Amino acid sequence: MKIAIGNDHAATDMKREIIEFVEGLGHETINFGTDGYESCDYPLFGEKVGRAVASGEADCGILICGTGVGISLAANKVKGIRCGVCSDTTTAHLIKEHNNANIIAFGTRIVGSEKAKDIVRAYLEAEFLGGRHQQRVDMIMDIERR
Ligand code: RB5
C-alpha cells in the first residue's frame, strides 16, 4: 500500500521510526510531515495527509503529533476522511473493521514507539467488515453532504 505520513515537531523522531517500520512491512510511504524540531502548526500536516488520502494519491494515512488529537481534527475537516486517535491495538484494528478509517492518528507523548508500531501493524492488517458497519459509515459520510 501507499501510505501518507504526517507529523509536527513533537513527532519527528517517531515519524522516522514509523516510516522505517512501515517500509519494512513492504509498504511505500509519502512523507508529508516536518523533518525538523522547530515548533510548527499541526493542522498543515493533518490537511496534507487528508488531501493525499481523499484524492487517492495514498491508500491510507498515519498522523502523529503530541497527542494525536489536533492533527486528527485537522484531517477530519477534509471531505472523505475518517480519522481517529488510537492509543491501543484494539482500537487500531476496530477503527478499520468497524469504522473503515482511512487515517489513524496517535500521540508521541501518549504511546511509546513499540506500542506505536503495534498500533500501526494492527491497523494495516485489519480489514473493513462491511455489512451493518457499512450502513453506519455511510451515515457518517452523509453528514458531509447535508
Ligand atoms: C504541540 O506542542 C502539540 O500541541 C501538538 O503536537 C498536539 O499535541 C496537538 O494536538
The whole model's pTM is what? 0.98
DSSP state of 29: E
Q: What residues line ligand 1, using a CB cutoff of 6 Å?
A: 8, 10, 42, 65-67, 69-70
7, 8, 85: which to mutate for ligand 1, most atoms within 8 A of CB? Answer: 8
Cα 44 from chain centre: 14
Q: pLDDT digits over 120-140, tens only?
A: 999 999 999 999 999 999 999
- CA distances to 18, 49, 64, 90 from 29, in Å: 10, 11, 14, 24
Assess whether 9 carries a catalytic annotation. Answer: no
Q: pLDDT digits over 53-63, tens only?
A: 999 999 999 99
Confidence of residue 51 (pLDDT cuts 50, 70, 90): very high
Separation of alpha carbons 117 and 119, rounded Å:
5
Separation of alpha carbons 127 and 134, rounded Å:
12
Q: Which of 65, 83, 86, 93 is catalytic?
A: 65
Compute the average pLDDT of residues 14-22.
98
In the prediction, which pLDDT does 27 show? 98
